[in-house]
Chains A and B, each alone.
Chain A
Amino acid sequence: MSLLVDLVLVVLILMAAVWTILVRDRRDAVIAFIVLGLLLSLVWMRLYAVDVALTEAAVGGGATGLVLLRACARLLPVEAEGRLPGPGTQIAAGLLSALAAAGLAAVVLHPPVPYPSLAALAAENIHTVGLGNPVTAVLLAYRSLDTLLEKVVLVLALIGVWALTPDAFWGGAPGSLRARHASGALDLLARVLPPFGVLVSIYLVWNGADHPGGTFQGGTVLAAMWLLVMMAGLRDPPGISLKLLRRLVVFGPAVFIAVGFAGIWMSGWFLSYPPDYAKPIIVAVEAALVLSIAVILGLLVAGPAAEPPKR
């Protein structure tokens, strides 16, 4: 019976995916993509991966969709999409894709028995970090290198976006995110929602140690509140050379690296934690990371500077 629910979800998802690819208007494609993201969050819930569901909804559907929508708004609605390739190429592409999909499907249909998993190892060691949420344990303990490197990736992406600023505008602020048509509803949301958003974000991070949640989810909610405020025009985007801004961006990764080196002194290995203090240290690192993630995500959406710096 429950398989029926899954089947319906899969059909909806594939419909959204096909629509995303085939529809002519690019804005429709982006909206279909956002719908796909939200449906995928439901799929993650069905797969009992709540942390991932939160992240997909927040970052995959939400933040990515936002960036794509803003791009659509600035590109002409009906422009020369460029001619699609001829039928020969289309058929070849279709065959190649179908072949790839078939190969992958064949792999899915023949899983190894018994199915390999690291769940047992993760469970055995989770007491040494004192966390209740195994995904957080993986992200911030077992595989913390990936998470740390990924923060560096985010900072580099931000530099990459800022690199596209015209030279004269370096240090200025990104273009106003203010919505073109003044809306009472947007204004109301931007005044009422942020305090709750901040609370939700704190809850997600604090709770993420033992239950689903974590830095990315909390950070995205925080970034969303900031973006909301900027879109309603209640605050202007900050200049990209603002000292405070730069410090907030660097704060999270810097704390993480510092804790990493401290780990050598405290318990012998880079990014290791002393058994009794693991959880407080991890939560502290997460708190620092949340601030940086929020600022970086917001800035990635805002884009490069679009006006000269205010002197």
Chain B
Amino acid sequence: MIPAQVTAPDGLLLILALFLPAVSLLAIFVLGLRRPERIALPTLAGGLVVALIVALQVGHSGQAATYRLGGWLPPLGITLRADGLSAALIAMAALILFVVAIYARGNFGSEPDGAESRQPMVFWTLLLGLATALNTVFLAQDLFSLFVALELLTFSAVPLVSLEGSRETLRAALRYLLFALSGSVLYLIGVALLYGAYGTLDIASLHQVTRADRATSIALGLMIAGLMAKAALFPLHLWLPPAHAGAPAPASAVLSALVVKAPFFLILRLWFDVAPQPQPAIAGTMLAALGAVSILVCSVLALRQARLKLMVAYSTVAQVGYLFLVFPLVMGSEAAVPWASIGWTGGVLQLVSHAFAKASMFLAAGLIAQAMGHDRIDDLGGAAQAVPISLAAFALAGLSLMGLPPAGGFVAKVMLLTAAVATSNWWIAVTILAGGLLAAGYVFRVIGKSFAEPAKGAPPRNAVARSSELAVLSLAAVALMLGFLPLQPFAYLAIGQGGLP
């Protein structure tokens, strides 16, 4: 317990990942700038560099990077840890945040007299808040610190939804806040019960001592229920479409790509690292069943949407449903450990490729709406001529959602299909295929309408910034590049799994 006098250099990067955005947001708060992106963009670039170095170091050393805050050892102190999965996710988050920031440069009008104004200040500080929050969720190893991280996430995300200030967005923000708070408090009850049962909240320590008794089951049940609400799993998904559709485009991109994935990541951690092995199969099947309903119901709802952003938001709920299919696929597999199974890799790849694809889609939707002056799908005629790059990005991103080659989503869904067939979960295989068909439906609907002739007497289109279009395309390109990954379990994701080295 006595603090050691040695600093682990790679561990120090984990501290920077958490606190670089926090320092930057405090700086913006106190300086009152007209263009806060002057501070935010370099910070997010720095965050990207830090995340990439961490990811490379973890891959190179084959071991997780660990940092003991204050030098205190668990269970008294708090640990940060980047295993293969965490390192991949912080790199993903850092890249998406950076590209979204490039897109959002100059998006929010500034006062001519050089004073700070509301929308830029709020947007950039909260974006940095999201960066700190996401990195904390992916790196912290203590269940209560994760609770604080979830609150950081909620308080950064909710005001972004109502940034524009209109009535609908205010209502959506309040509904989001109430769902998020309900989820947090359920999670916290679970934390209290776990502490009462085991006297520690450190994930690695819990991994070794959890037993399958009533307190643990109730605690984990409550925590997972709360996290389900935050991840918008059916039937707790009602808050997401209006919230993600009402936020400004760069915020929607981050919300759908990253914020909604963090609770799912925590469910993975709880399921595989905290829950006593073996987990009850029925629970995994129930989660997968809810995921399947999410996929089917929300894909159909996406087909029926009149507005582009709402369609993309319903698509998010559907694609997040795929993630929950992972549990029976991994548990039923013949792999020695969960992370060696193809279902695990498929699920993580789905998470990452959807993040890039959905971010690209929302940004493209933002540019399309900006060019056309509205986002009614039926009246999108002429968008293909107005913003061809954005539409191309939208289509490429759509490939990933549909699960068509060469996109990352294709590889992910093939892995999940393989796992489903291998574990004889035929209903999951059918759901995956059906979801892909429905996704094709709603993506092609938009593309089709965009290539139509513009309506007579339509208002002139607005210009959009070239840099923004390129940003959108780059995200879709990453989603595509992920399609070149081999169709087998990744060794990288297995680094550091299964307990502290």
Contact = CB atoms under 8 A, between A and B. Distances in A.
In-complex A–B contact (CB below 8 Å)? yes
Interface of A: 103-104, 106-107, 110-112, 115-118, 121-122, 124-125, 128, 141-146, 149-150, 152-153, 155-157, 159-160, 162-167, 170-171, 241, 243, 246-247, 249-250, 253-254, 257, 260, 263-264, 267-273
Interface residues of B, number: 65
Contacts of B218: 103-104, 106-107
Given A116-B196, A121-B1, A254-B23, 4 more contacts: A122-B76, A159-B121, A269-B68, A269-B71
Given A146-B144, A156-B156, A264-B12, A241 B125 contact: no
Interface stretch (B25-33, B54-62, B389-397): B25-33
B69 A268 contact: no
A121, A160, A166, A268 pick with most chain B CB within 10 angstroms: A160
A159 B165 CA distance: 14
Given A143-B77, A160-B159, A272-B71, A155 B189 contact: no
B20 to A, nearest CB: 10
25 contacts: A107-B215, A115-B199, A116-B198, A118-B199, A125-B1, A141-B70, A142-B70, A142-B77, A143-B144, A143-B145, A144-B70, A145-B69, A146-B145, A162-B118, A167-B119, A246-B29, A250-B30, A264-B12, A267-B3, A268-B4, A268-B7, A268-B71, A269-B67, A271-B69, A272-B71
B129 interface: yes
Given A111-B196, A159-B126, A247-B30, A269 B70 contact: yes
B76 A241 contact: no
Contact of B155 (A103, A160, A241, A270): A160
A155 B29 contact: yes
B46 to A, nearest CB: 15
Contacts of A273: 70
Contact of A270 (B25, B30, B70, B165): B70
A269 B78 CA distance: 12
A112 B4 contact: no
A171 B34 CA distance: 13
B15 A155 contact: no
A270 B12 contact: yes
B162 interface: yes
A155 B21 CA distance: 13
Interface string B273-310: 00000000000000000000000000000000000000
Given A152-B129, A167-B117, A110 B122 contact: no
Interface stretch (B146-154, B237-245, B467-475): B146-154
Helix, strand, loop or mixed for chain A's interface? Answer: helix
B163 A124 contact: no
B70 A272 contact: yes
Please list the 10 inter-chain residue pairs (A to B) with the smallest Cβ-Cβ separation, ordered nearest first.
A116-B199, A269-B71, A160-B159, A163-B159, A156-B155, A163-B122, A170-B118, A272-B70, A271-B70, A268-B5
Contact of B22 (A115, A152, A269): A152
B200 to A, nearest CB: 7
B2 interface: yes
Given A103-B218, A163-B159, A268-B3, A142 B76 contact: yes
Nearest to B22: A152
Interface string B105-137: 000000000011111011001100100100010
B167 interface: no
B452 interface: no
Contact of A143 (B71, B78, B151, B156): B78
A51 B367 CA distance: 53
Contacts of B152: 149, 152-153, 156
A162 B123 CA distance: 12
